[in-house]
Amino acid sequence: MPELPEVEVTKQGISPHLVDQTVRDLVIRNASLRWPVPDICKNIIGQTIKQVRRRAKYLLIDTDAGITIVHFGMSGSLRILPANTPVEKHDHIDLVLENGRVLRYNDPRRFGAWLWYELPEEAHPLLVKLGPEPLSDAFNPLQL
């Protein structure tokens, strides 16, 4: 299962490829993940990605319209690929960018999640009860 360090490394790896890029399309091949991928996820189409963040084991892709919340579940992963890369068996979602690249979500067990949420994300039921980030200044001896 991807843990916080793996999610942080993924965030650091994909951020340079996503930030300031415009989303051309969202291709959902299989919406049956841990929770069904909502149709409103397509609200990201036409949006420019402002930032990629991590909150606990959730990856947050920020746009002016809202946030894509990604969780890897037990076996999920993200890869940056050329848009013409052939699709493999467990490639469920593609975030297609204007620059000809794609952020591809692969999840053999489908325990992960791909959700959309309007701002502010702090109110999302999956994020509202999380403690302080261990890599932030808010995580200090007093808070602990």
Q: Which of 3, 88, 120, 141 is catalytic?
A: 3
Q: Strand 23-28 to strand 51-55: parallel, antiparallel, or no bridges (unpaired)?
A: unpaired
Q: How far apart are CA 131 and CA 30, in angstroms?
A: 32
The residue to which tokens 């947050």 are assigned:
60
Q: Is 2 a catalytic residue?
A: yes
Q: Is 6 a catalytic residue?
A: no
Q: Strand 77-82 to strand 67-71: parallel, antiparallel, or no bridges (unpaired)?
A: unpaired
Q: Strand 91-97 to strand 113-117: parallel, antiparallel, or no bridges (unpaired)?
A: unpaired
Measured CA distances, 44 to 48, 75, 76, 114, 121 (Å)? 8, 24, 21, 12, 15
Q: Would you name the residues annotated as active-site residues?
A: 2-3
